[in-house]
Amino acid sequence: MSTLAAAYDAALFDLDGVIYLGPHAIDGVPEALARLAAGGTKLGYVTNNAARTPGQVAQHLRELGIPATDDDVVNSTQATIRMLQGRLPAGAKILPVGTSALVEQLAEVGFTPVDSLEAEPDAVVQGYHPQLPWNLLELGVIAIHRGAQWFATNPDQTRPTERGILPGCGAQIDLIASCVGYRPEMAGKPFRPLLDETVLRLDAEHPIFVGDRIDTDIIGAGNVGMDSLFVFTGAHGKYDLLTAEPVGRPTHIGADIAALLEPPRKLVEAGGQFACGDAVATVADGVVTMGEVPATYAGQLDALWAALNAAWSRDADATAVLDRLDLVQ
């Protein structure tokens, strides 16, 4: 039977929780990527995190045994710049509220970075800054109050680090938003520009997006009408899937990215019964039930897929079934 990947010409991957966890590759990922590449699937790596350059991310991937080039990595700064080029005239004066790397990248493409209100900036562009100067925030707020357009790289509220969860770009955006009363136009997931930029880069016609978070990855794919594969190696799990709004429901689920090398799960629906593999979920009176649940991990993913689809399509509660799938987080 044909693999899931065979239905697409390209696969776009979120990184943390999909390809690696912190500094380490997730088990089997380098091998699966090598097989996908050998089979002709174009591979792209997509990250909201603009703290590292695409070259640094690609270098990290190569250290993990993944043969990525710098061009295979697309980050939210690159997507932001493409967005700005469509919205501002060449040479526009921009007040960057971000790192020197952001300032340099804006200058490289012909914008005029400015650092004072006297320069009358046309736009404020915000990106994550690990030592954000308070004075820069103040300049940003005043410039926006005076009519400058406001853009930002990505909405992530937090950053997972080895020291714990830290405030991310979204938290820095909130500081300005609390003064100006609205939020900026953003390029990163779940907004369009980042995925559009990656599709353009890979020249992909029918890509699939692979992610571990509903709010950024799966909704991001849904927002651009792209199919998605949700994997269980990262941040979100079965209960997040159950409560996902329609745009956040993935096209496929799999244990990890190796699911792309297997046939897709098939769902068969008839008269209130949803079957996947050996599992059958039944909906009655707004509740999803299931007889015996499978004892293997793959079997429990089948059961989960049957239960989720039953719950989603009939607006029913499948919590009791999900509770019994003890091998799936």
Residues designated catalytic: 14, 16
Q: How far apart are CA 307 and CA 322, in angstroms?
A: 8
Which pairs count as long-range contacts for 240-244, CB under 8 Å and 24+ apart, including other chains?
240/214, 241/214, 241/304, 241/308, 242/308, 242/311, 242/318, 242/319, 242/322, 244/214, 244/218
Residue 168 touches Mg ion, criterion: CB under 5 A: no
Q: How far is CA 251 from CA 209, 228, 230, 282, 309, in A?
A: 10, 5, 8, 21, 11
Q: CB of 217: closest distance to Mg ion in angstroms?
A: 6
Instruction: Provide the token pair at 247.
Output: 């745009």
- Among residues 212, 215, 256, 302, the one that binds Mg ion under rule CB under 5 A: 212
Piece in contact with Mg ion (CB under 5 A), picked from 17-25, 31-39, 51-59, 167-175: 17-25
> Across the chain, which distance is largest between two alpha carbons, in Å?
71
Q: CB of 205: closest distance to Mg ion in angstroms?
A: 25
- Among residues 14, 156, 215, 256, the one that binds Mg ion under rule CB under 5 A: 14
Instruction: Provide the token pair at 294.
Output: 């499978």
Piece in contact with Mg ion (CB under 5 A), picked from 4-12, 40-48, 206-214, 298-306: 206-214
Piece in contact with Mg ion (CB under 5 A), picked from 7-15, 66-74, 173-181, 244-252: 7-15
- Among residues 17, 113, 250, 294, the one that binds Mg ion under rule CB under 5 A: 17
Q: Output 17 or 113, the one with its CB closest to Mg ion.
A: 17
Q: CB of 92: closest distance to Mg ion in angstroms?
A: 33
Residue 16 touches Mg ion, criterion: CB under 5 A: yes
The DSSP secondary structure of 61-78, one letter per residue, reads: HHHTT----GGGEEEHHH
**CA-based R_g, the chain, Å:** 22
Q: CB of 256: closest distance to Mg ion in angstroms?
A: 13
The residues of the shown chain that bind Mg ion, judged by CB under 5 A, are 14, 16-17, 212, 234
